[in-house]
Amino acid sequence: MHNPSVHHFGAAKRILRYVAGTSDYGVWYNKVDNFRLYGFTDSDYVGSLDDQKSTSGQVFFLGSGAVS
């Protein structure tokens, strides 16, 4: 903040272009009869043979749209 460079200015312009170009994106929630919270998870223990690290992920839906 005290000494911004041309590199910082370029990064800020890139972020602003991204925000301007994706302003119409979003999660749409439709009216549903069965309004529930659903969650799905998956994991792969030591799935990467290169570094022996595990991978996991999850998604949660509330009604008709993903919330996490």
Helix (H) or strand (E) holding 44: strand 37-44
Burial 13-25 (b: 16+ CB within 10 A, else e): eeeeeeeeeeeee
Higher pLDDT, 38 or 27: 38
Where are the chain's structural domains?
34-68
DSSP 8-state symbol, 34: S
What ranges in 1-68 are assigned the alpha helix state H?
6-21
pLDDT per position as a tens digit, 14-23: 999 999 999 8
Per-residue pLDDT band for 30 (boundaries 50, 70, 90) equals confident
Taking 90 as the threshold, does the pLDDT of residue 26 lie above it? Answer: no
Backbone angles phi, psi at 11, to 5 degrees: -65, -40
Question: Residue 38's CB: how many other CB atoms inside 10 A?
Answer: 11
Tell me what the mean pLDDT of segment 2-31 comes to. 90
